[in-house]
Amino acid sequence: MFKVVRFIIVMMIINFSGFAQDDFASVLNSSGSVFVKPNNTTDFNINAENGTRLHVGDAIMTTDDGFVVVEFTKDKSLLNICMNSEISIQEEKNIKKVKIIEGKLLANVTPGIKGSFRIETPTSVAFIKGTKFWTISSKHYGDRFYGVEGKVGIMNLITGLETTLNAGQMAISTPQGQLSIMPIDESDIPHCPGEPSLPSSTPESYTEKDHLKQSFPPDLILENLKLIEPSYNRALDGLEEGKIQFDLINNGRGNAYDIEVKITPLSQSKHLSFPGTTEIDEISKKDRKTINIPISADIDIESMPRQFRIEINEGFGFDTDPAIISFETQAFIPPDLQIKQVAIDDNEDAEGQGFSYGNGNSIIESGESIEVTAYVQNFGDGDAENVKAEVVLKTDDPNITYVDAGKVFNLGDIKSGDFQKVDFYFYTSRRYDEENIPISIKLTEVKGKFGKTIDLGLKSGKRTQNVLETQIARAQVQSKKTQMRQIEGTIKLSDVDKDIPKTNMDSNNILAVIIGIEEYKYAPSVDFASNDARTFYQYAKDVFGIPERNIYYRINDGATAGEFNKIFSENGWIDRRLKKLETDVIIYYSGHGAPDTQSKKGYLIPSDIDPNYATTGFSIDDMYLFLSKLQAKSVTLFLDACFSGESRSQEMLIAGIRPISVKIKNDGFVKSHKSL
């Protein structure tokens, strides 16, 4: 299947004065790994340090631990650019542009500046003048805008829908063309983890030293986990925007810091949009926060059960046990707008009381002025929202006239089976001799997908139903609502995927790391990899009896290079939880492997790594070395990956090479009573 990527432009119109290219912007503050790619070059080969000057056309990239503040030289407007982001700054005809390839940033624009400024993402638009708001942009899921101060005009260029974002609101703009606004709490406002302090009123960030001064630890508990959705049918419907909500309570006597909420799907997540990670700065002792994680379904969502795993990770290891939320999605039920009834009035009205003029025989004849009533009725199961109608005369013939050309009739919402009227008039001269009256009505609705243009079928010389004779009732719509489909209807399950038994095994001393990457940023997909990982996760829980807190589960874009380093590093996830000579460790990986063509060594490829640069992936040798040094009771490793440079579907991962054979071995790993 070929994927069509549509680009939407997000514009921020900001008054901004022009300044010289050599004095465009600079790095005010940075931490972690931040790199600059100078204009007209191909590599991010400059480390961004405090004071680094930025020129027109330069690009900035942050990695897993990166954060940078960019200050525009003259007006002192700021961009706070968070981790895993890539942007470029440009200028054309006195318009400053920040192009977000992907990532998260806070725009803090100085009021009253001159000139103009624009932000472009791969999905949407924002018109502002001196304000403060967050932008989170994803190539796959679109954009989210969070209002902090002032007003922001948002436009989606796929459909042209527009709205205004105020402080305390979030706008969602999708690649499918939807644009919506929903209220948010202060706790929903994003932030950058590890953000350094700025020379402003921003409070200083906490430090590990400050944390260690606490006399008591935090104690986080997740409660009241639920799905909030607008239709109150306990399901997320197509084109609905809801939120996963829960209370995060700190019952401890110490503060909790640098909290990360991870959401990982345990079922199919296609056609669902949600942030995989949400950060929370701090929850004070004996305090609580209500967390709202936005989730939306697009128009192609299917009816089926869904499951998500929610992890709460605290910066110093005071995590909660993972929780599971289950709910259903319902396929979108479309409206069906039709015009099946049209009536005319050709009576001679008294002056000032109407627009019709004729002999009253209900026949359109030359030289008459005809009032028309068209009945727009919804024959679909779904409701049509914000319906608009426009009468269109499709001819240049001067002998027929529609005087209100361009007028838009606002019909409002038309519920299933209901109708609204469109009243208009036209007239002809005695020279009009055509049988067909080329008048249509163009219908649009808020979704932008179910409008149509309908010819009214008016003919001269033939009798048409008179307005006084017309009777129209609510249509009896036969329900077409789809019954809930089982997951098996979408994915053909193998025997091992079905009827997974539950045992009473006590596996508190087993750690399981489960990674499945089906969708890659720079490589072909790996068929069934995420489903295989989900199945292994169910076996780990139900058959092996491994508790949720002992399972590290990541799929697709949640399995980045940073996650691999977090797992397989000194003082990483495994290291912190391992009990020497007591803990069994199970590693499962399904995804791409790739060879280094020079050393013939193998590398696992995280979701954000290009296999053409295999050495930037995760070395099999390094993983074996780490596992062989673990003082675990046992280590069992499952690798479902090919290292030939070819995908499961026989697509080449690495340009310009033939499939090669790489022998993966590690005698030290095997001799230390580990199994592969």
CB 657 within 8 A of CB 645: yes
Asked if pLDDT for residue 326 goes beyond 50, the answer is: yes
C-alpha angle with apex 468: 467 to 469, nearest 5 degrees?
A: 90
- Convert the pLDDT of each residue in 148-171 to its tens digit: 888 887 877 777 777 788 888 888
Return all residues near 221 (Cβ < 8 A) that are at least 6 apart.
248, 249, 250, 251, 320
Categorize the per-residue pLDDT at 503 as very low, low, confident or very high, splitting at 50, 70 and 90: low
Only one residue has tokens 């340090």, namely 49
Where do the domains of the chain lie?
A: 21-188, 208-330, 337-469, 494-675
CB 283 within 8 A of CB 312: no
Return all residues near 553 (Cβ < 8 A) that are at least 6 apart.
264, 309, 514, 515, 533, 537
Give CA–CA dist 554/560, Å, rounded.
9
Asked if pLDDT for residue 212 goes beyond 60, the answer is: no
Domain pair 208-330 / 337-469, same fold: yes
Its CATH class, for the domain covering 21-188, is mainly beta
Average pLDDT, integer, range 346-370: 82
- Convert the pLDDT of each residue in 68-88 to its tens digit: 999 888 777 889 999 888 998
Asked if pLDDT for residue 330 goes beyond 50, the answer is: yes
Categorize the per-residue pLDDT at 147 as very low, low, confident or very high, splitting at 50, 70 and 90: confident
Q: What is the CATH number of domain 494-675?
A: 3.40.50.1460
> Closest by alpha carbon to 66, among 29, 94, 34?
34
Residue 202 vs residue 379, higher pLDDT: 379
Categorize the per-residue pLDDT at 4 as very low, low, confident or very high, splitting at 50, 70 and 90: very low
337-469 carries CATH number 2.60.40.10: yes
Paired tokens of 521: 């940023």
Average pLDDT, integer, range 511-528: 90
Q: What is the pLDDT of residue 249?
A: 94
- Convert the pLDDT of each residue in 472-501 to its tens digit: 555 555 544 433 333 233 334 445 555 566
Give CA–CA dist 66/368, Å, rounded.
74
Give CA–CA dist 546/544, Å, rounded.
6
Its CATH class, for the domain covering 208-330, is mainly beta
pTM of the model: 0.54
239 burial level (CB within 10 Å; 0-12, 13-18, 19+): buried
Q: What percent of the chain has pLDDT over 70?
A: 80
Give CA–CA dist 310/516, Å, rounded.
17
Highest mean pLDDT out of 104-118, 450-464, 660-674: 450-464
C-alpha angle with apex 251: 250 to 256, nearest 5 degrees?
A: 35
CB 249 within 8 A of CB 224: no
- Convert the pLDDT of each residue in 569-582 to its tens digit: 888 899 888 998 99
CB 28 within 8 A of CB 71: yes
Residue 174 vs residue 320, higher pLDDT: 320
What average pLDDT is seen over the chain? 80
Highest mean pLDDT out of 18-22, 119-123, 204-208, 405-409: 405-409
